[in-house]
A and B are shown apart, each in its own frame.
Chain A
Amino acid sequence: MLVARKNLVQEKTRLALSVGGVALAIMLVLILDGLQVGMFRQITAYLDHSEGSIVVAQDGVVNLLGASSLLPPETQEQVAGVRGVDEVVPILSQFVILDLHGKKQPVYLVGYTPEVGGGPWEIVDGREPRNDKELIFDRVLADRHGLGIGDRVEVMDRQFRIVGVSSGTASWMTSFIFLQKSAVEGLLSAPGATSFLLVSVDEGREPEAVLTRIARLTDLEVLWKSEMASNDTRLFARFFSAPVRLMTGIAFLVGALVVGLVIYTATVERQREFGALKALGAPNRLLYLVVLAQALLAALLGTAIGTGLAQAASAVIMAVRPQFLVVLEADMTGRAAVIGLAMALVAALLPARVVAQLAPAEVFRR
């Protein structure tokens, strides 16, 4: 261990590079993981905060954000009449594209009835809309475009006045904006239309039994709110998990490459010393341990620094681009440590090969 430590710290720049390489890789892995977890939280934010435990959608529609749903007009009354149903909150929702300062910005319009529910869960400024020409805008999107209470925005060529600003309703891809349901009906030329019903169950009633009873109504998709949230997460994970996994893999490879290269160079440079150790009777196993210990030291140090860097970098990212939510959970640090150790193992392979092939007589020929 002493040989390993001395060998590693002898050249300070090299040590800094190897630890820095691992730290960079670990930071990338953690931030990518954190971005993915944050994105999933943002995707399900509306369902996580809205009323009820059951969602009723058009037959075949199992996502809130993936597909538009349109319920037959009589559905709300039918569902409200089911035994065990306490409250039914209708919403009419649709993705639309806003033109904000020359940029196309997708937003998710939620048409709701302020007296009944289905609107924003945290209004940080202003109030709820009182007529069809008012709306609540997401805070992050408003800040990015310099909009505030009293400003006007154009949605599908109609002017609306911002009367409220909501928090927790943004993601990097889209933001939620809230209007009266009748206003969205007008925008979509769909009078009386409803996309989803958010259903609460009477206290003391068995929720499963209520869900089964609602599902007996024809041509409807009835599912738990948590189930729909998982479906949305799965849908978006299908698009984004592959690139994130690819990048995590690349970050891992780079970390391993960096440590491997540094230890390899250090080992090649110390060939004579290793040869001398071999000539003095040190078995290959001991020399492997020296190489592995160097890799482990660099990886552990890099993991610790990388974890700290990830915390700092995520704070910077969220301050500069508040539409990104980076969630660093405790188990991620554990995973980062495992990744760091794996990097060390992979990194030790090349230098170990050099040591194994070393002839003890080498030292006497130089």
Chain B
Amino acid sequence: MTRLAIRNLFQSRTRLAISVGGVALALMLILALEAIVSWIEQRVTAYIDASGADIWVSQEGVRNMHMASSSFSASLAASVARVAGVASVTPILYRTNVVLAGEDRTISYIIGLPDRADAGLPWIIRSGRANPGRGGAVIDQGIAEASGIGLGDTVEILGDEFEVVGLSGGTASLTNSIAFISRRDFARVLADPRVVSFLLVRLEPGQVPQDVARRIEAQVPRVTAQTREAFAAQERKVVRDMSTDLMAIMNLVGFLIGLAVMSLTVYTATLGRRAEYGVLKALGASNRDLYTTVGIQAVVSVGLGLFVGLAFTLALSAVVPQFASNMGLVVSPLSVAEAAAASLVFAGAAAVLPIRQVRRLDPAMVFRGK
């Protein structure tokens, strides 16, 4: 029966291509969207992950950077530095603003770094230097190239002009980039220049970050201290929670499309082979044999669709970053498992209509030439 089902399926290549293509499209929709969100999650925590800080200290109640604002007295840096186990404290300023490079405006996280920063510097430097210093700025290389800007050119950040002294890598995403200026330059535009946004804390060797974070919260008033991993997890949760509704709709759309295409192709394939199924019935094949045939056809079509959809998404994830530094896809094993589960539902649903058709098939029909 398996051989018959597969031969039958591959006999009409056009129909098979349409069926596999439809399922691949639907699964690609589910896979690609999940892959884009996974990539954004990774990219949104890139600065935190590469900051070199073991603990992030923020304004009390502020647990992430994206779409958030944190500010507290700079004098608390000294209090944090006195906590047992703390090796160094780097105070930074942070705000979402605009980098004006030539005629191009890019929404950016602006980071204000102290002259001697022990953490929080750009982690990949393509050219120039990492610490911007007074009057200098380090901006993303991709953004600079797109605007025709290079080292020594001028960009406008927070309404002031800065000389580009460094070009960084891995600092741009679909939504924004990261730019670095000196903390003193940043403070000039603040309503209160005596505040900082975050303290990046490095620990002495052998210290446990969770323990030191607890000590900081106990000894320093009105701050929230989180390990780097916990801070990054909160950041990822913001992206995940924001995209949940959109993902649900898109996944539903992908699911409906896959279901419609698969059901229809398997149904029409069975319809087209009605006479052959009639012959098989007349020759003594049981309904169960014919159900197996239909089921195998559905599973093979969906399996091929999953393979093509996955291959195409993986190809996209390899190709897209080559053409756009601010865009990418990360295909996670979980999303592949989700797509595979959706495929099984497609195959199951697709087999229902034809099975009904096969059950009602009259073996004598074949002799009547129908």
Contacts and interface: CB of A to CB of B under 8 A. Distances in A.
Question: Does B associate with A?
Answer: yes
Interface stretch (A63-71, A126-134, A282-290, A329-337): A63-71
Interface string B1-40: 0000000000000110010011001100100110010000
B10 to A, nearest CB: 16
13 contacts: A11-B271, A28-B253, A28-B257, A106-B238, A188-B71, A189-B72, A189-B195, A219-B159, A243-B33, A246-B29, A251-B257, A258-B260, A262-B268
A157 B260 contact: no
Contacts of A324: 245
Contacts of A261: 15, 18, 264-265, 268
Contact of B260 (A24, A158, A190, A350): A24
Interface stretch (B54-62, B82-90, B135-143, B280-288): B54-62
A106 B159 contact: no
A104 B237 contact: yes
B345 to A, nearest CB: 17
A315 interface: no
B21 A60 contact: no
SS of A interface (majority): mixed
A104 to B, nearest CB: 4
B191 interface: yes
A39 to B, nearest CB: 10
A60 B96 CA distance: 12
Interface stretch (B43-51, B97-105, B124-132, B332-340): B97-105
Given A14-B268, A173-B242, 19 more contacts: A59-B156, A60-B105, A60-B157, A61-B98, A67-B97, A67-B98, A70-B189, A96-B69, A97-B238, A104-B241, A106-B67, A158-B61, A185-B191, A189-B71, A235-B107, A257-B261, A258-B264, A264-B14, A269-B272
A190 B191 contact: yes
A24 B26 CA distance: 14
A60 B97 contact: yes
Interface of A: 11, 13-14, 17, 20-21, 24, 28, 32, 35, 58-63, 66-68, 70, 73, 94-97, 99, 103-106, 154-158, 172-173, 185, 187-193, 219, 235, 239, 243, 246-247, 250-251, 253-254, 257-258, 260-262, 264-265, 268-269, 321, 323-324, 350
B255 to A, nearest CB: 12
A254 B25 contact: yes
B207 interface: no
Contacts of B64: 97, 104
Contact of A60 (B100, B257, B272): B100
B68 interface: yes
Nearest to B353: A13
A261 to B, nearest CB: 5
Contacts of B175: 239
A97 B68 contact: yes
B263 to A, nearest CB: 8
A350 B71 CA distance: 64
B180 interface: no
B281 to A, nearest CB: 19
Contacts of A66: 96, 98, 107
A81 B98 CA distance: 28
Nearest to B195: A189
Contact of A189 (B21, B192, B265): B192
Contacts of A246: 29, 32
Contacts of A20: 260
Contacts of B265: 261
B63 interface: yes
Given A67-B107, A247-B250, A260-B18, A190 B98 contact: no
A59 B100 CA distance: 10
B14 A350 contact: yes
A313 to B, nearest CB: 11
A97 B246 CA distance: 18
B61 A191 contact: no
Contacts of A67: 96-98, 107
Nearest to A105: B241
Nearest to B157: A60
A261 B86 CA distance: 68
Contacts of B22: 254, 257
A190 B253 CA distance: 45
B245 A172 contact: yes
B90 to A, nearest CB: 19
Contact of A254 (B224, B242, B249, B257): B257
Contacts of A185: 191
B208 interface: no
B190 interface: yes
A269 B272 CA distance: 7
A106 to B, nearest CB: 5
B357 to A, nearest CB: 8
Contacts of B353: 13
Nearest to B256: A24
A67 B159 CA distance: 12
Determine which residue in B25, B159, B175 has the highest number of CB atoms from chain A within 10 A of its CB, and name it: B159
Nearest to A189: B71
A254 B261 contact: yes
Given A60-B97, A67-B98, A157-B61, A253 B25 contact: yes
Determine which residue in A97, A105, A219 has the highest number of CB atoms from chain B within 10 A of its CB, and name it: A97
Contacts of B134: none
A261 B266 CA distance: 11
Q: Which 6 A-B pairs have the closest CB atoms?
A: A157-B61, A59-B159, A193-B191, A95-B67, A189-B71, A190-B191
Contacts of B62: 156-157
A264 B268 CA distance: 10
Nearest to A221: B159
